[in-house]
Amino acid sequence: MKKFILLLLAACLHSFCGASEKVVLDFSAAQPHEKYQLVMRGDTKIANGALQVTDASGKVGGAVLKEIYPALTPDKAFRLSIEFSFDRNFKHKMPAMLWDSKYVNMPNNTPAHKNFHRGFQLYLAPAGSGNYRIQAAFGFGAASQVVQANMINVVPGTRHTLTMEFNASDRVVFTFDGNPAGTCILNSGFIASPYRNPVLGDRQGSSFWPLGGRIHKLTFEKLSWKPLQISKSPVDRRVFVWNEKDAVFKLNIRNFSGTEGNNYTVSVKSIMGDQSIAVAQVPSGQGTIVDLPVNTLLLPGEYPLAITLLDDSGKELAACKEQLVIVPAPGDFMPVMLWGGLPLQTAARIGFTHQGMSLVPHSGGLGPSGYAAYIDLLDEYLKNGVYTYNPITLDRRFTSQKRFLRAGFNNSAIVPASVDPSREELQKELLAVIADSAQNLGSHPGWTMALSISEERDRTNVDFSGRMNEAFREFSGYDMPAIVRGKYPTPRRANLVAPERIMDDDDPELVFYRWFWTRGDGWNDLHSKVTAELHKYIKHDFMTFHDPAVRVPLIWGSGGKCDAIAHWTYTNPDPIKIAQATDELLAMADGQPGQKVLSMTQIIWYRSACAPAHRKVKNPPEWLKREPQAVYMTIPPDALRIALWSKISRRIEGIQYHGASSLTGEDTVHRYRYTNSESQYALQDLVHTVIRPLGPVLKKAEEKPLEVAILETFPATLYAPQHFAVGWSRNWAGDLHLALQWAHLPVGIIFDDHLLNNQKLDNLKVLFIPGAELMTRPVVDKVKELQNNGVIIVGDEFTPPEISVDLRLKSIRRNNYDPQQSKREFQQLGLDIVRALEKHYRSPYAADNQDIVMHSRSAGAGEYLFVINDKRTFGDYIGQWKMVMEKGLPNSGVIRVKSSAQAAYDAVKHQEIAIQNNNGTVELVSDLPPGGGQMIILLPEKIQDIQLHVPENTVARGGAFRIKTAVVGADGQVIAALLPLEVTFTDAQGRKLPGSGYYAALDGTLEIEEFAAVNMAAGQVNVKVRCLASGKSADAAFTVE
């Protein structure tokens, strides 16, 4: 239930403020205003068309008004708009003051400060990376209040406009460059007249807060004020989703008249018709919420609402104009999430569906002002087709405050500090904050994801305070082994733990670490509780996720019961390594039935790993002149392309990216530097041509039963982590995965848990066991059992001698300074493996060159073959350093697939591919652009036609209708495969109607139930269904009246 806000005001409130009056100080003239005079302080001056306040010495600055002019110091409602710019060379150590008539933002209640509860301040608090938080302070005579609105990005040298509208009742509203920037709730009404003359561009006195830039124009406008007011409730939304159920636009009536109001009527005129709502009572000094029902079957768009508050005689008491917004329903789409944020229009242009918003505060609580600000922001995001995720963090609330920290061995301090998430007090406090946000913001359909505590587990550690020992004793019946010193075993060679490289499953040290990494350190349990708390209050489609989920010893449980787990990958030097991290995620998710997977590409690359600053090169790239000190740089566009195709070849729920500053360069001061202008457009193209149209199919096509697997065994990841990727897609196990991809083997990853629970084993043909310096007895026995049942076991020099491997490999150490040679070596290893296995196992697909990488999925009668071009060379972006082959090259190859398919289609180009089928082997030619990929759909027969059935009878506006479509073969029978379709509804004027979008036809058929918009044009509705595999389409029409 939403918490309604009491509007408590002083008894001396007046009943009306006179007609509006506008004052403009235009600094393009030497004398900004003939009536309102300014005196320059310090080095401040009017020059080059602006008031310049750029002195950073800490001395007095700004311009002070000669008098306390009533027109510029109103006590009631006003609007202040300031056009300003920041100096390119100014570094803000203190807030940037725009207006100060208050002196002290939050004075105490001592007599010395009594005059500082007067006037107001408007300033920008620096938040790093070019971001600033809008803040304002108001003095109400006996008390003061500071509010903070949205974070904004201020570009040095660029002219911006900040507007603050104060209603002298209960709220202040900000806009920045014409966009909503937050609504803040106030506890009091009229501002007390200032004690000192107002100052522009700096504080009135004491420690100064220079603007560090220029004020170009200031506009001050008095606004009318009435004792009865009506408007949209600031903590409720104005944006609604098409066909949303039980939608109401919440209106807030405030009574400042000093007497109780009775028998009012709210009259609303809008496209929904004239509506009247009776209001029996509005208590004095309080707010009353009135629900205006919203018809969400209006066409998506913006609609004005004219709202009037009437007394029982019909006399107007208050009025306002509001905007109602209807947005399209999201449909079935694949999330494209930006971990962080970009300017909203940029994010929408590129195609991001989600970016971050701190809806659960990192410290403290939000309160009504916070809710109001975020409601406005969520509305603006949703209006632009962008949803939000919320990162839930502990650092500012607990870690940096040194609360609930674990104790190290011998009571030493753990570095870095490690919070104990199992503490009941910690959980209670965190879950209460989550519940508060979920109750107040969780009904907004724009909030659809939450990230549960990223990276904090990197700092996890064993607690030696006694609490962890007590918990372990309760679990195991004995104390923590004395040898334990931290979250990993003491560094030593694994074969010293068990000379035969086989540990007993009940070895006390192993039991402890298995317990610690699954439940003992408390993180997995906390993720589960965070997820449950959010779902308790948020009832629309909502997903929690945790990352990085596989940067741990590999055993089921990471991420707890989060709805999804995720991980990020630095894709140098070989972009297809992201498939290895994604396969680890899929293996981890197997331990939590129904858990989904998200896979993230790092937009940033560490320069040290691809273009080290200390090495000079011939023909240096152009970015080096601009960014000679760059530490993080932009991913090359072809690496981004290859990585996208690689990760979507697996069944994942969504794709993610991190490093916005390196993608677009709009944040000019962030340490992530913008060194390649092509990468953002490569991503934009792929989102619009691949992810959006094919997303519904990408999410649903199933992984095939596993035939070739790499076993990443838990004890070895503990005692011999140098062999394993554990989220970093490197080392011997990670590089072996690359070799098998280049060898066209259908590789996946399994853990000990899979073996011990008989998961993914039914179709297993080949099992690789790299780097297994330690295994448990039950796992060794299971491997031998699989071998006895015909599974080929491939080991290396580390495999326990008791396992008599069918093929033994020699591990290869990558040369990080010669990626070309390393790729050759691992491709050769892959070839050698295929040749060694050819008498026992043949892959279901192959290509005539190893720079083509493939992965196959299935659904019904369809097979979905992903073909990725990994042919690369050294380019002119970072290739000069010879550490990464970043430039993609065209590639063409003959592909062979074991299949009885009689037809193949390129789902991106929407066209048929010529094939030959010889004795159950399909052969086709793939021509791929640099960094390119394909999703080839193999079908048992050719697509002949698209059948489409629409309503035969006339449909009333506002009424429901249904269409049915099917993809059929030559005999008219449905092709029972998962097929991508685009459906478009248009009215008689050609306007696209709700229900239009991309779909997946399950088993070749699709049925859509929709509604005719209540305000659509009467007449013919045209329906077009296009098969995105074949390009074939069908058209039909029905009538709406």
Name the nearest CA neighbour of 199 among 99, 121, 79: 99
> CA-to-CA distance for 714 and 796, rounded, in angstroms?
17
Is residue 566 within a helix (H) or strand (E), and if so which, with residue range? strand 564-569
If asked whether residues 67 and 148 sit together in one domain, one would say yes
Q: What pLDDT is recorded for position 4?
A: 29
Name the nearest CA neighbour of 487 among 726, 670, 752: 726
Domain presence at residue 717: no
Q: Strand pairing partners for 489?
A: none
Is residue 665 within a helix (H) or strand (E), and if so which, with residue range? none
Q: What pLDDT is recorded for position 1?
A: 34
Name the nearest CA neighbour of 138 among 102, 169, 174: 102
Task: Say if residue 18's pLDDT is above 60.
Answer: no
Q: Rounded mean pLDDT of 690-717?
A: 98
If asked whether residues 164 and 293 sit together in one domain, one would say no
Least confident of 14-18, 37-41, 607-611: 14-18
200, 62 in Cβ contact below 8 A? Answer: yes
Q: Rounded mean pLDDT of 912-935?
A: 97
Q: Rounded mean pLDDT of 580-590?
A: 99
* Peptide bond before residue 32 is cis, with ω within 30 degrees of 0: no
1026, 1035 in Cβ contact below 8 A? Answer: no
Domain presence at residue 268: yes
If asked whether residues 198 and 250 sit together in one domain, one would say no
Higher pLDDT: 188 or 548? It is 548
Q: Token pair for residue 274?
A: 């004239």
Q: What pLDDT is recorded for position 11?
A: 26
Listed in sequence order, the DSSP H helices in 309-389 are 344-350, 367-383
Torsion of Cα atoms, 109 then 115 then 119 then 121, to 10°: -60
Name the nearest CA neighbour of 583 among 814, 761, 690, 737: 737
pLDDT in tens, 208-230: 999 999 999 999 999 988 899 99
Task: Say if residue 13's pLDDT is above 60.
Answer: no
If asked whether residues 200 and 307 sit together in one domain, one would say no
pLDDT in tens, 263-301: 999 999 999 999 999 999 999 988 899 999 999 999 999
3-class secondary-structure state, position 410: helix
585, 620 in Cβ contact below 8 A? Answer: no
Domain presence at residue 693: no
Q: What pLDDT is recorded for position 494?
A: 64
Average of per-residue pLDDT values in the chain: 95
If asked whether residues 111 and 210 sit together in one domain, one would say yes
CB neighbours of residue 396 within 10 Å: 12
CA atoms within 13 A on the CB side of 12: 8
Which amino acid appears at position 121 of this protein? Answer: Q
pLDDT in tens, 139-166: 999 999 999 998 898 999 999 999 999 9
* Peptide bond before residue 573 is cis, with ω within 30 degrees of 0: yes
Last residue of a domain, one of 297, 327, 357: 327
Higher pLDDT: 1041 or 170? It is 1041
Last residue of a domain, one of 178, 195, 222: 222
Instruction: Give the domain extent around 268.
Output: 228-327
Burial 252-275 (b: 16+ CB within 10 A, else e): bbbbbbeeebeebebbbebebeee
- Strands, DSSP E only, in 860-959? 862-869, 872-873, 887-888, 891-898, 903-906, 911-913, 915-918, 921-928, 933-939, 945-949
Residue 1016's pLDDT band (cuts 50, 70, 90): very high
3-class secondary-structure state, position 715: helix
Least confident of 15-24, 493-502, 837-846, 921-930: 15-24
Task: Say if residue 74's pLDDT is above 90.
Answer: no
Last residue of a domain, one of 190, 205, 222: 222
> CA-to-CA distance for 150 and 860, rounded, in angstroms?
49
Q: Rounded mean pLDDT of 856-865?
A: 99
Q: Rounded mean pLDDT of 126-136?
A: 90
Domain presence at residue 1027: yes
Name the nearest CA neighbour of 756 among 711, 797, 726, 701: 711
Task: Say if residue 929's pLDDT is above 50.
Answer: yes
Question: Could you tell me whether strands 387-392 and 248-255 are parallel, antiparallel, or unpaired per DSSP bridges?
Answer: unpaired
> CA-to-CA distance for 692 and 998, rounded, in angstroms?
7
Task: Say if residue 555's pLDDT is above 50.
Answer: yes
3-class secondary-structure state, position 281: strand
If asked whether residues 244 and 200 sit together in one domain, one would say no
> CATH code at 979?
2.60.40.1930
If asked whether residues 266 and 174 sit together in one domain, one would say no
Give the single-character DSSP code of 59: S
**Residues in the chain, total:** 1041
909, 880 in Cβ contact below 8 A? Answer: no
Residue 666's pLDDT band (cuts 50, 70, 90): confident
If asked whether residues 43 and 190 sit together in one domain, one would say yes
3-class secondary-structure state, position 723: helix
Q: Token pair for residue 348?
A: 């929408």
Q: Strand pairing partners for 863?
A: 858, 938
Listed in sequence order, the DSSP H helices in 773-896 are 777-788, 819-837
For residue 968, give Cα distances in angstroms to 392, 907, 908, 976: 48, 17, 20, 9
Angle at 984 between CA 981 and CA 986, to 5 degrees: 170
168, 225 in Cβ contact below 8 A? Answer: yes
Q: What pLDDT is recorded for position 6?
A: 30
Name the nearest CA neighbour of 348 among 325, 374, 382: 382
The fraction of the chain above a pLDDT of 90, given in percent, is 89
> CA-to-CA distance for 806 and 769, rounded, in angstroms?
11
Domain presence at residue 186: yes
Residue with tokens 């394993």: 724
Residue 7's pLDDT band (cuts 50, 70, 90): very low
Task: Say if residue 325's pLDDT is above 60.
Answer: yes
774, 715 in Cβ contact below 8 A? Answer: yes
Name the nearest CA neighbour of 576 among 628, 526, 650: 650
Contacts of 70 (CB under 8 A, 6+ apart): none
Contacts of 393 (CB under 8 A, 6+ apart): 362, 453, 454, 456
If asked whether residues 191 and 242 sit together in one domain, one would say no
Q: Which of 5-19, 70-84, 180-194, 648-662 has the highest mean pLDDT?
A: 648-662
Task: Say if residue 170's pLDDT is above 80.
Answer: yes
Q: What pLDDT is recorded for position 499?
A: 83
Give the single-character DSSP code of 516: I
Question: Could you tell me whether strands 708-712 and 747-751 are parallel, antiparallel, or unpaired per DSSP bridges?
Answer: parallel
Q: Rounded mean pLDDT of 74-79?
A: 91
If asked whether residues 183 and 279 sit together in one domain, one would say no
> CATH code at 55?
2.60.120.200
Burial classification of residue 588, based on how many CB atoms lie within 10 Å of its CB (0-12 exposed, 13-18 middle, 19 or more buried)? buried
> CATH code at 278?
2.60.40.10
Domain presence at residue 994: yes
pLDDT in tens, 866-890: 999 999 999 999 999 999 999 999 9
Residue 670's pLDDT band (cuts 50, 70, 90): confident
If asked whether residues 214 and 250 sit together in one domain, one would say no
If asked whether residues 108 and 209 sit together in one domain, one would say yes
Domain presence at residue 356: no
N-term to C-term CA, the chain: 40
Tell which phi-psi region holds residue 557, choosing left (phi > 0), alpha (psi between -120 and 50) or beta: left
Cα 204 to chain centroid, rounded:
41
Sheet holding 997-1001, edge to edge: 997-1001, 979-986, 1019-1027, 1033-1040
566, 597 in Cβ contact below 8 A? Answer: yes
CA dihedral over 448, 453, 457, 462, signed as positive or negative: negative
Burial classification of residue 126, based on how many CB atoms lie within 10 Å of its CB (0-12 exposed, 13-18 middle, 19 or more buried)? middle
Task: Say if residue 232's pLDDT is above 50.
Answer: yes
Domain presence at residue 270: yes
Task: Say if residue 10's pLDDT is above 60.
Answer: no
pLDDT in tens, 351-373: 999 999 999 999 999 988 889 98
* The overall pTM is greater than 0.85: yes
- Give me the number of domains the chain comprises: 3
> CA-to-CA distance for 273 and 22, rounded, in angstroms?
36
Residue 5's pLDDT band (cuts 50, 70, 90): very low
DSSP codes, 83-139: EEEE-TT---SS-EEEEESSS-SS--SSGGGGGGSSSEEEEEEEEETTEEEEEEEEE
